[in-house]
Amino acid sequence: MEAIGQRSAAAESLWRDGDAALASGQLEQAYRCYTAAHDQVTDCPRLHLEAHRRLRRVTRRRDPRGEYLTDTLLVKLAPLGVFELIALYFRSRVAGSAECRRGA
């Protein structure tokens, strides 16, 4: 697996592409970009939270009951450490890094 710096840079690029697609009304393209970015950072709590925040913007319009509710629930549970638990599940080696700690 690539270092978190490389993966976060890839996610940032995908988020920019997704933002541009969303701004031009291309929901499916935005969803693909945001999902690809999400998959880069699932072991990094801060960036994983950001991924779900961005995904909510698309899933609200694409699938208001299914994925949107899941994204919303995860974002709301963030203060309770849900993304840190997910990082544990993925046996993250980067979750404690400055780039990945929420509130850092």
Which DSSP helix (H) or strand (E) runs through 21? helix 4-23
Q: Mean pLDDT per segment of 10 residues, for the chain of length 104 residues?
A: 87 98 96 97 95 96 87 96 91 85 70
**pLDDT on residue 1:** 56
pTM over 0.95: no
Task: Quote the CA–CA distance of 18 and 36 in Å, as a whole number.
Answer: 10
Q: Is the domain defined by 4-89 classed in CATH 1.10.260?
A: no
**pLDDT on residue 91:** 87
Q: For the chain, how are helix, strand and coil distributed in percent, rounded to 5?
A: 70, 0, 30
**pLDDT on residue 98:** 83
